[in-house]
């Protein structure tokens, strides 16, 4: 048996029996392959290496993370954990929920009203200001702006050649055809 094969077999045996794969003496931490002492040693060694190489190491890590995120994005995987995503999203369901909560908390710290509180009769649906009359969904300024917008849109619509008018004509033609031919 070659040395590398022996080391691999030893590693797998220690891992299967939840023994530290580095020292082979202590019990490994839950969900890890190293004991607490070996983990601290590894962390210290990594930190020393990072301090020595400094900015070059940081740039290497940044580049690696960029490439990893790009790879995961192209393959439809979560950019943070690598699990599959749904509906073309960038994050998995779990991380998407975490980001949503984080964004909500940040908005609350900034004093921005949660969207679900708006439009219920106390706050304007669009801007979040208090409404003058209880039960209204918008403040006076937003109401006037929306009325102006709606009037402008009504003027832009070409009612003679509108899409829905064509659909109605087709529908009525079908009804008339059925009445004429089916009795």
SS3 163: helix
Q: Are residues 103 and 158 in the same domain?
A: no
Per-residue pLDDT, 170: 64
Q: How far apart are CA 20 and CA 27, in angstroms?
A: 6
Asked whether residue 59 is domain-assigned, the answer is: no
Q: How far apart are CA 144 and CA 137, in angstroms?
A: 13
Identify the domain containing residue 77 by its residue range. 64-112
Q: How many domains does the chain have?
A: 3
Q: Which residues contact 58 (CB under 8 A, 6 or more apart)?
A: 50
Per-residue pLDDT, 12: 92
Asked whether residue 7 is domain-assigned, the answer is: yes
SS3 168: helix
Q: pLDDT per position in the chain (183 positions), as tens?
A: 578 898 899 999 999 999 999 998 999 988 889 999 999 999 998 888 878 778 888 888 899 999 999 999 899 899 988 999 888 788 998 999 999 899 988 988 988 777 777 767 778 888 878 888 877 788 889 889 999 999 998 888 777 776 666 666 666 666 666 666 765
Asked whether residue 149 is domain-assigned, the answer is: yes
Q: Are residues 124 and 160 in the same domain?
A: yes
Q: Are residues 152 and 100 in the same domain?
A: no
- Chain-centroid distance, C-alpha 23: 41
Q: Are residues 97 and 72 in the same domain?
A: yes
Q: Are residues 124 and 155 in the same domain?
A: yes
Q: Which residues contact 107 (CB under 8 A, 6 or more apart)?
A: 114
């Amino acid at each position: 048996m070659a040395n590398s094969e022996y080391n691999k077999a030893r590693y797998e045996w220690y891992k299967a029996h939840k023994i530290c794969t580095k020292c082979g003496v202590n019990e490994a931490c839950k969900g890890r392959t190293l004991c607490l002492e070996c983990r601290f040693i590894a962390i210290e060694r990594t930190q020393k290496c990072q301090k020595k190489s400094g900015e070059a190491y940081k740039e290497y890590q940044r580049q690696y993370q960029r490439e990893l995120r790009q790879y995961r994005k192209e393959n439809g995987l979560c950019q943070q954990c690598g699990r599959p995503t749904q509906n073309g999203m960038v994050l998995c369901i779990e991380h998407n929920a975490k980001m949503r909560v984080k964004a909500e908390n940040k908005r609350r710290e900034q004093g921005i009203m949660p969207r679900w509180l708006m439009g219920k009769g106390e706050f304007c649906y669009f801007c979040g200001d208090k409404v003058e009359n209880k039960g209204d969904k918008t403040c006076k300024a937003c109401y006037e702006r929306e009325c102006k917008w709606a009037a402008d849109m009504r003027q832009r619509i070409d009612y003679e050649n509108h899409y829905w008018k064509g659909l109605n004509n087709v529908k009525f033609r079908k009804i008339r055809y059925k009445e004429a031919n089916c009795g």
